[in-house]
Amino acid sequence: MKHQLFLAWKYLQYHWVKTTILILSIAFILFIPLGLNTLSDKGSKDLMARAKSTPLLIGAKGSETELALSGLYFKSNSLEAIPFKTVTEISNTNLGEVIPLNLEYYVKEFPIVGTASSYFKFRDANFKSGRAMAILGECVLGSKAAEVLGIKVGESVISSPKSAFDVSGSYPLKMTVVGILNATNTADDEAVFTDVKTTWVISGFAHGHDNVTETTADSLLLSKTKENAIASPAVLTYNEITPENISSFHFHGNPDAFPVQAIVVNPNSKKDGLILRGRFENRTDNLQIVVPTTVMQELLDTVVSVKNLLLLAAISIGLATLVIVTLVFSLSIKLRSGEIHTMKRIGSSKSAITNILGLEVVLTLALSLVLAVVLVLLLNVFGPYLIKIFIL
């Protein structure tokens, strides 16, 4: 058997082009259904785990899926904002913990999440170094954001404009990093967390500047009396909040009207959650409440339906490919009639020849199976990234 295996292997090596094509064809026949199941199962577990840890989400009426994805994964490209007074209103009901999410800006490709320091306790997030943000201008980085940006505690990051043609009044703000989170393998790893008021500074609802009542430069003033001074556009507006200038920062307008994109609510009990949901069912304003587990399950059901169609197509193609592979082996044996005749003339028995041909098939199938398993293992590792690209 050892010699027969050697001859079979040498034949496959010599005809490496044909062997490679057969191995790839069979491997992909095996990989497609296995890979789809692996990706679906992995995605389902990750998506549902994040959803289960977030009992309720509140946002503007519209797509429930978009609201859920925004609240869970900080995707808010077109999510309508709601006023901050909603946060205060829900908090005053004492039905649960209320955490705002303002998701308008980025630091490069990483979303800035304007929230409250209670978010970290809610997510059971631990600090690798540093602490939670405490004052305006401080921020906390997720593990991957810190790694990619190459930032350590004590250094700074700068917010990015919404677009290259952003004329909405947002200001790039230099924020001091006061903490870095441990890796959690969730969307938190790729976020920049700061207080919601800091995001309002970026939006232009608050700013700090030189004390115009003490300046002597006429070019910085439109008018000045003993009681007050009216600043001109030439007055320097700070783009960094420091201990020296933080007292000069002030808000313009009513904070209750300032924007947030979503609100996370962690009810005190199941009953309190039902009460809150019931109240929102009867509201006539532009607000909705969603249960992330329900929304994500509906999304997964759609994904599973698509997966089943793909599996059916893959099985059909696989069967056709197997027929072709069988035909290739059969034709190969016929084309090798001269070779087989020579083997008989030099003393090979019929069973030995059959074993050699059979081992060629077995080796081809074994190599195909190994390749399919390797591809599935790679998919298991890189699956979360593919889910992020194609689903999230």
pLDDT in tens, 286-304: 899 999 999 988 888 877 7
Burial 164-192 (b: 16+ CB within 10 A, else e): eeeeeebeebebbbbbbbeeeebbbbbbb
| 199 in the same domain as 224 | yes
- Are residues 23 and 83 both part of a single domain? no
Overall number of domains in the chain: 2
Domain termination site, one of 274, 291, 308: 291
Q: With contact defined as beta carbons under 8 Å apart, do 157 and 96 qualify? A: no
- What does the pLDDT read at residue 205? 85
Tell whether the model's pLDDT for residue 361 goes beyond 80. yes
Q: How many CB atoms lie within 10 A of CB 327?
A: 10
Higher-pLDDT residue of 246 and 82 is: 82
Alpha carbon 298 to chain centroid distance?
18
The tokens for 189 are: 């790893």
**pLDDT tens figures, 374-385:** 988 888 777 767
Domain containing 265 equals 55-291
Q: How far apart are CA 249 and CA 238, in angstroms?
A: 9
Tell which of 291, 309, 334 closes a domain.
291
Claim to verify: residue 89 and residue 231 sit in the same structural domain: yes
pTM listed for this prediction: 0.74
- Does residue 167 sit in the same domain as residue 98? yes
Among 232, 266, 291, the domain-final residue is 291
Q: Is 237 helix (H, G, I), strand (E, B) or coil?
A: strand
Read off the amino acid at residue 27. A
pLDDT over 80 at 308, yes or no: no
| 99 and 61 together in one domain | yes
259 with 121, same domain?
yes
**271/354 same-domain check:** no
Q: Which of 72-81, 148-157, 227-236, 326-335 has the highest mean pLDDT?
A: 148-157
Sign for the CA dihedral angle at 333, 334, 336, 340 comes to positive
Q: Are residues 123 and 156 in the same domain?
A: yes
Same-domain check for residues 67 and 35: no
Q: What is the pLDDT of residue 233?
A: 46
What percentage of the chain has pLDDT greater than the value 90? 38
The pLDDT, as a whole number, for residue 223 is 46
Let me know: does 171 contact 237? Beta carbons within 8 Å.
Answer: yes
63 and 182 inside one domain: yes
253 and 365, same structural domain?
no
pLDDT digits (tens, 9 = 90+) for 153-212: 999 999 886 655 554 556 788 899 999 999 998 999 999 999 999 999 888 887 765 554
The gap from C-alpha 354 to its chain's centroid, in whole angstroms, comes to 54
Nearest Cα to Cα of residue 102 among 83, 120, 122, 128:
83
13 with 79, same domain: the answer is: no
Token pair recorded at residue 152: 């350590």
